[in-house]
Amino acid sequence: MGGISLERKIFSIITPTYNCAAKIKKTIESVLSQNKSLFEYIIVDGLSDDGTSEEIEKYSDEIKLIVGKDKGVYDAMNKGIDIASGNYLYFLGAGDQLKEGILEKIKPIMPQDGLSFVYGNVYRLDHNRIYDGQFKKHKLSKRNICHQAIFYERNIFDLVGKYDLKFRTKADYALNLRCFGCREIDKIYVNEVIAEYEGFGLSSDKEDEDFMKEKPKLIKECLGNKEYIFFELRSVYVKILKKLKS
């Protein structure tokens, strides 16, 4: 399962958009400045009405643009998965920017076969710092890896599924938990800043109640009983602290 095809680009870069005309240009140009032999660029727009599509059309010769009604950002990302032809899929938000020359830099690192989850760091502009180093199961039980730092070997989605639309803002977290829980997937950390992450996004602004309800179950199923026990103990500790402070 898996493996790099010589007939494919190494990377499929996917950007979901909706009413982001003011910031999509810098994202597009950060992608198109990379070595063009390495990637295809797919933008999935959910019927923007603020001039986003018109801005994207300026680069129509270099972008695959899919326009249509969707059920939100994760539905758009799933549509990108469906048409992507690259060996590794990467998701870049509108307003985020790939670091200069990063695809060329990590190309030699990308595995030639097997199911690989290759990830690095992002520079979080909202926190003015690099986020967030290598992850083990315990660390992932506490916080997520930014999808702007991750390259998913294309066959991963056949094995663990795509983004679950019942999670409105944390479907990427649920996906990463499933990936870490799958022994067939190699998790490979690269100490490079892959992108500048704008922050202030959907997952930063709103709590995903459905995900929080299911998170203990996901941790138990994906990360194991040990991490589940630690998670539950930590939750009890946080509740006690809140009561003491109130």
Look at residue 56 and tell me if it is in a domain. Answer: yes
Look at residue 6 and tell me if it is in a domain. Answer: no
The range of the structural domain enclosing residue 98 comes to 11-245
Asked if residue 95 lies in contact with residue 124, where contact means CB atoms within 8 angstroms, the answer is no
Q: Number of structural domains, the chain?
A: 1
pTM: 0.93
What is the rounded CA–CA span in Å between residue 41 and residue 33?
12
What is the rounded CA–CA span in Å between residue 139 and residue 38?
32
The CATH number for 82's domain is: 3.90.550.10
Amino acid found at 59:
Y
> In this structure, which long-range contacts are made by residues 156-165, counting pairs with CB atoms below 8 Å and at least 24 apart in sequence?
156/115, 156/117, 156/185, 157/81, 157/89, 159/1, 159/115, 159/184, 159/185, 160/185, 162/77, 162/78, 162/81, 163/74, 163/75, 163/77, 163/78, 164/74, 165/71, 165/72, 165/74, 165/75, 165/78
Which residues in the chain come in under a pLDDT of 50?
Answer: 1, 3-6, 205
Look at residue 111 and tell me if it is in a domain. Answer: yes
Look at residue 121 and tell me if it is in a domain. Answer: yes
Please tell me whether residue 137 adopts helix, strand or coil conformation.
helix
Look at residue 47 and tell me if it is in a domain. Answer: yes
Look at residue 186 and tell me if it is in a domain. Answer: yes
Give the pLDDT confidence score for residue 205 in this predicted structure: 47
Look at residue 107 and tell me if it is in a domain. Answer: yes
Give the pLDDT confidence score for residue 235 in this predicted structure: 87
- Return the closest-CA partner of residue 102 out of 38, 188, 12: 38
What is the rounded CA–CA span in Å between residue 154 and residue 167?
22
Amino acid found at 165:
L
Give phi and psi for 190, each to the nearest 5: -120, 125
Structure tokens at 53: 């599509």
pLDDT digits (tens, 9 = 90+) for 198-211: 986 555 546 899 99
pLDDT digits (tens, 9 = 90+) for 13-68: 999 999 999 999 999 999 999 999 999 999 999 999 999 999 999 999 999 999 99
Look at residue 1 and tell me if it is in a domain. Answer: no
> In this structure, which long-range contacts are made by residues 76-80, counting pairs with CB atoms below 8 Å and at least 24 apart in sequence?
76/16, 76/17, 76/18, 76/44, 76/45, 76/46, 77/14, 77/16, 77/44, 77/162, 77/163, 78/162, 78/163, 78/165, 79/44, 80/12, 80/14, 80/15, 80/16, 80/42, 80/44
